[in-house]
Each structure stands twice: as C-alpha cells, then as structure tokens.
Amino acid sequence: MSNRKFKTEVADLLHLIIHSLYSNKEIFLRELISNASDAIDKLRYLSLTDEKLKGYSFSPRIDISFTEDGERKLIIKDNGIGMNETDLNDNLGTIASSGTRKFLASLSDDQKKDSNLIGQFGVGFYSAFMVAKKITVISRKAGEEEAWKWESDGESSYSIESAERQEQGSTLILTLNEEGEQYANRWELENLIKKYSDNIAYPIYLEYDQVHYDNEKKDENGNALKTTEHKVEQINSASALWKRPKSSIKDEEYREFYKNSFYDSEDPLFYIHTQAEGTNEYTTLFYIPSKAPFDMYYADYRPGVKLYVKRVYITDDDKDLLPTYLRFVRGIIDSEDLPLNVSREILQENRVMVSIRNASVKKLLGEFRKISENNPELYSKFIAEYNRPLKEGLYSDYANRETLLDLVRYKSSTEDGYVSLKEYKSRMKEDQKAIYYITGGKEEVLRTSPLVAAYREKGYEVLIMGDDIDDIVVASIGEYDKTPLKAINKAGALSDLKSDEDKAKEEAKKPVAEKIRKALGDRVKDVVISSRLTDTPAAVILSDDDPSVQMQRLMKQMGGEMPEVKPMLEINPDSPVIARIEKSDDEDFIAALSAVILDQALIQEGVMPSDPASFAAALTKLLSE
C-alpha cells in the first residue's frame, strides 16, 4: 500500500467542500451516478472502436445498495471502463484543468456555498465528501486482470493498493458521516434517483431488504411474524429523452434533464429540440443557460455539447461541434449517419458532421431571431448574457453575418436598454447619411464624450459600443442594409454634418487651427475645425485607419507591438477658449493653453495625459494669469 498527498488544488477543493455550508448536499448522488454512466459510455464506445476491446461483451448497469445497521455505508457499483493504478492517481488525486483552478480562486464566499457549482467544473466525485467520512474505490480496468483500491478520509492524503474484483468497473463505498446517514434509506435514495437521474441511459438498480409482517402468524412473544425479502428494483426510466417524440415531453422534463445533465441549479432560458430526417438523420437538443458559463472567456473553456452516434456516447470535449462564438450553448447532438469509430480529426472534416453543424447553427440563430421578434423580454435576458459572443460571430461567421447583424444589440445615446441596427435605421433622419457609433472605451466614458453630446443636440442617435471587441467587429461590418456605419470619433464622419456655412467658417478659422497645430507640434497628427462641437472647446478623434485608444491598450496587454498613434484635435471655432488663442500673439500662452485643451480632451476620452506634471504646470500658469 502506498500513501500519497493530494495535489494542492484538490486539497483546496476538499477543504471548500467539507468546511463550507452547502444548501443542497444531496447532489453528491447525482454526481456519482453521472460518473458511473460516463464510465459505461466509455466502455461501450471502446467496445465498438478499440481493437483491444472490440466485441467486449457486457450488460451496462449501475447498482446501488446500503447498510442500515452499525456503521452506515452507501455502495455505488458500475460495470464501465474501470480504472487502474495510474488512472486512480491521475483522476482522483489531481485536477487537470487550469480553468478549474482559476475558477476556484475567483469564487466569492457566497458562491462557495452553492454545491450546484461542483459539477460545472468536472470534479463531482469530491462532492461525496460532503456526506462521507471515508471513501473507498475498488476498480478494475477493462482488458486488465488486476484490480486496485483507492481510499481516503478527505483530509490531505489517499492510499492505493492492490485489490480483488471479479469484473471490470468500479465500486464506490461511502462510509457515511452523521449528516450523510439519512442517505442509507430506501425511500431517500429512490426519490433522489428519480429526481436527478431518471434519464440516465442505463438501468439503475436499487438493492434493499423489504420487511413483511404476517398478522395471522405469531412469534413466540405473540407478535406478528416478521420475514425479510431481498429485492432488486430498477428505479430509473433509462430512456434518452432527446430521442422521444417532442409531443410526449413536458416542459418540466426538459428543464429537469438540463439541470441534471449540465449541472445547473437554474432553469434554462429556453431550449430547442430538433429531430431531422432526410439526407442526414439526426437529433439535437440545445439549451441556453440563464447565466453565462463561468469559463466562457477562458481559453480552455469546457465545451457544452455532447456528441452521440445512435445513442452511443462519443465525446463531450470537442470544441468544433459548434462554432466558438456559440460556446455557451449546452446540449446533445445524436447522429444516425456518422460512423461509430469517428475520430476527432475525421470529425472536423466529416461531410455529415459539417452538414449537421451548419444546420444546427442556422437553427439556433433562427430561433434567436424568432424570440427577438416574438418575446422581447426573454430576448433582453438572452442579450444581457450573450451579446458579446454573438458579436464574435459577426467577425468569424461570414456565412451567417446577415442574421447575426439583426441579432446583436447596442446601447444608444437616445434610447434605454439595448437597440438593434434595424431599430436604429427605422429612426434615422431623412437627410442622415450613415449609422453613427462611437467606440474606444467603457460605456460610461463614451456616453459623456462631447462628440456624443454634439450629435444628440443636433438630433442624431449614436450607438454606444463599449465592448472591447467592438472596434474589431464593427470595422469588419462596413454597412448595414446598404447604409454605411461611421465612427463619430474618427475623421471619416467629419464632413457629414457640414453645411455651406460651416465650410465657410472652416476656411475663415484655418489660421487659429494652424496656431494650435504649431504649438502642439508632434503631439497631434492634425488640428481640424469642427462643425459638430457646441459646449466644449475641443475633442480628440482618430484617422480612419488608426486603432482606438481601447484597441491600443488591448494590443499592448496581449504583448503586441503597438507604435504610438497620434490623435487629431477637433476644435470648436465658436468656443471662447479657442477665441483667446485666435486673438493672442503670445507664443508661450498659446502653447500652454493648447496643451491644456489637448490634455483636457484626452481626459474626456478616459486617457490620462502622457505627462501629468506638465499638464498641471500649464494649468496652474493659466489660472494664475
């Protein structure tokens, strides 16, 4: 026997589980049954595809029993793939995912009390320590002769030694603690199995002793004669819900299947069940979680779609089953046409799988569109969680761009909540030349931009694009419904609002623009006369080809080389501050005031002056004069 220490992440997790107050300890049984089902899935798949295990004959089942006398125990047994010494050490002594570690580190105290989170990051086995003071696992891997025993009290270490087991699979023996003793009970177990695991595809049998009393026969003390009958009953329905006719499935069944299969305590926002026939025969059952998955923005996010072929589990770890921007979708794809031995590499290029994937994307986006048109309240909840990933689709899924353009939403300078491009266009003024938007910072900063205020005053709506990817995405769109999109903080929109009077004023004010340009030198790319600004002396804008300030920051955070991008300064010719420069011949005064105007404009865009000390000195000089 060898004693081994848990890896640090496992020790932290065990401490979190054992010493936190969970509101729902009963989910441990769901987790252990799911693990048993996964083990059977793997053996069933390998018996069809792996040369060493081809033809391996077994009748899949999960058996649950318990002891009520003395030290109470709960036993969960499966005849799945099983584990050898290496597997036990790797699977029960380590958490492999870096995403899991990051997630654990980010949990708040309130979140740590939610046991429904356990299953989300693939460590459900450890939830058994909520009800057990000791766990023993006896396992034998399919195709191998030797069995092994893993044992731990959930503190800091575990032991592994050789053992005996007649067939492949695993037996979990939970020595229950005081809080777990209630689960050594037939009725409790039967209710939990039906509640959480009714749709597990394999039969779950519960073993128990049933006591009968015969009042017509008495024992020596005159009491009814007691006899005990050992019973083994199948508790679950063992049917794949997604293969049943849609008309036979209740909403409650759909919701329970989602919560039990995808480890969520909340109902999904909605679900989409498709049973396709024809050239390709397949079934899909997709769910949209009510809250975005915790790892949605991790590089090693856990994909949410499971692939089956003729109800045989293939994988739940393939990120190519749906495009990346739909990584929040949870669900099942079950194909009748894919070969059972399809490999990951073949899967990505398989004609049938590509067809199913393309059809699934169109179905999902089509349903999103229907909900947006028929149930705005539900769609608002959806957009609050998944607007950003949909925007990624605009950049990466050209085939579905037109649909996605109608699905994404933006904040507006004139409307509450989110608005669509279609809604924006319906409100455009007759003489309006473009759909106007602003990017380059957080929403609250963009809303206070003097440029937004200028457009609002002139009666033009501006889309507020505050997501960090908006710069990349909107540049790839170009136009919507034959109407160009223009950034008001870039030079391309400068001429749109100019009247003949504005053009005449611009010509007359060129000398003051030249004074400021000379005073600022290489701090700016250009100084231009504004026909838009009303209440502020100046604003910074960029050339059409230059990345925004936010994009520059993003590139630097990613370690990319980012040459300095000089802004353009747009000045308000009617501002008293600009008039002071126009009338002055004092070069020092012009230089100081021009510098303050530029730095003030940068601050309004959420950018600190490059030289705060110089800014403070120039401001102090001006105030003293």
The answer, yes or no, to whether residue 148 has pLDDT greater than 70, is: yes
Mean pLDDT lowest among 135-144, 237-246, 440-449, 490-499: 490-499
Closest by Cα among 7, 46, 23, 6 to 341: 46
Task: With a cut of 90, say whether residue 19 has pLDDT above it.
Answer: no
Q: Does one domain contain both 423 and 534? A: yes
Domain count, the chain: 3
Q: Do residues 268 and 225 both lie within one domain?
A: no
Q: What is the CATH number of the domain that holds 458?
A: 1.20.120.790
| 3-state class (DSSP) for residue 422 | helix
DSSP-assigned beta bridge partners for residue 163: 147
In a domain, 377, yes or no: no
What is the Cα–Cα distance from 597 to 540, expressed in whole angstroms? 10
125 & 146 share domain: yes
For residue 268, name the pLDDT band (cuts at 50, 70, 90).
Answer: very high
Helices and strands, counts by H and E, the chain: 21, 23
Residue of higher predicted confidence among 281 and 117: 281
Give percent of the chain with pLDDT exceeding 70: 89
**Same domain, yes or no, for 345 and 422?**
no
Predicted pLDDT of residue 534: 83
Q: How does residue 121 score in pLDDT terms, banded at 50, 70 and 90? A: very low
* Structural domain boundaries enclosing 334: 241-357
Among 254-258, 287-291, 505-509, 510-514, the range scoring the smallest mean pLDDT is 505-509
Looking at residues 165-185, what average pLDDT do you find?
95
**CATH code at position 67:** 3.30.565.10
Q: Which of 187, 219, 234 is the last residue of a domain?
A: 234
pLDDT value at position 116? Answer: 45
Alpha-helical regions (H) of 82-135: 85-93, 98-106, 109-112
Residue 287: predicted pLDDT: 98
Does residue 375 lie within any of the structural domains? Answer: no
Higher pLDDT, 18 or 325: 325
578 and 439 belong to one structural domain: yes
Average pLDDT of the chain is 86
Structure confidence at residue 97 as a pLDDT band (50, 70, 90): very low
Q: Is residue 169 part of a domain?
A: yes
pLDDT at 72: 95
- Domain match, 106 and 56 both: yes
Ramachandran angles phi, psi of 294, nearest 5°? -60, -30
Mind listing the pLDDT tens digit for each residue in 574-588? Answer: 999 999 988 988 888
Q: Do 477 and 578 sit in the same domain of this protein?
A: yes
Residue 577: inside a domain: yes
CA angle 101, 102, 106 (to 5 degrees): 120
Residue 269 lies in a domain: yes
- For the stretch 514-553, pLDDT in tens is 999 999 999 999 999 988 888 889 998 888 888 776 666 6
Residue that is last in its domain, among 322, 357, 392? 357
- State the pLDDT at residue 565: 81
SS (H, E, C) 236-301: CCCCCHHHCCHHHCCHHHHHHHHHHHCCCCCCCCEEEEEEECCCCCEEEEEEECCCCCCCCCCCCC
Token pair belonging to 257: 């299947």
Whether 87 has a pLDDT exceeding 80, the answer reads yes
- pLDDT for residue 122 is more than 50: no
609 and 484 share a domain? yes
With respect to residue 379, please indicate whether it lies within any of the assigned structural domains.
no
pLDDT at 326: 97
pLDDT for res 68: 86
Same-domain status, 252 and 217: no
Judge whether 521 lies within some domain: yes
C-beta separation of 491 from 506 below 8 A: no
Residue 34 sits in the same domain as residue 96? yes
Do both 19 and 92 map to the same domain? yes
Per-residue pLDDT reduced to its tens digit, 586-623: 888 888 898 899 988 888 887 777 778 887 877 877 77
> Which of the two residues, 306 and 613, has the higher pLDDT score?
306
Taking only the tens place, the pLDDT of each residue in 455-492 is 988 889 999 999 988 988 988 888 999 999 999 988 88
Burial of 478 (0-12, 13-18, 19+ CB in 10 A): exposed
Beta-carbon contacts of 328 under 8 Å, excluding residues fewer than 6 positions away, are 288, 289, 292, 293, 296, 304, 385, 386, 389
Q: Are 230 and 250 in the same domain?
A: no
One-letter amino acid of 135: I
pLDDT of residue 49: 84
Interval 181-231: pLDDT, tens:
999 999 999 999 988 888 788 999 999 988 777 777 777 777 777 788 899
Cα–Cα distance, 343 to 318 (Å, whole number): 11
Give the CATH number for residue 332. Answer: 3.30.230.80
106 pLDDT tier (thresholds 50, 70, 90): low
Q: Is residue 483 within 8 Å of 463, Cβ to Cβ?
A: no
Which residues make Cβ contacts (< 8 Å) with residue 52, sequence separation at least 6? 143
Q: Flag whether 99 is in a domain.
A: yes
- Torsion over CA: 507, 509, 514, 517 (sign): negative
In this predicted structure, what is the pLDDT of residue 343? 61
**Rounded distance between C-alpha atoms, residue 511 and residue 233, angstroms:** 94
Q: Of the residues 212, 234, 256, which one is the last residue of a structural domain?
A: 234
Residue 165, pLDDT score: 95
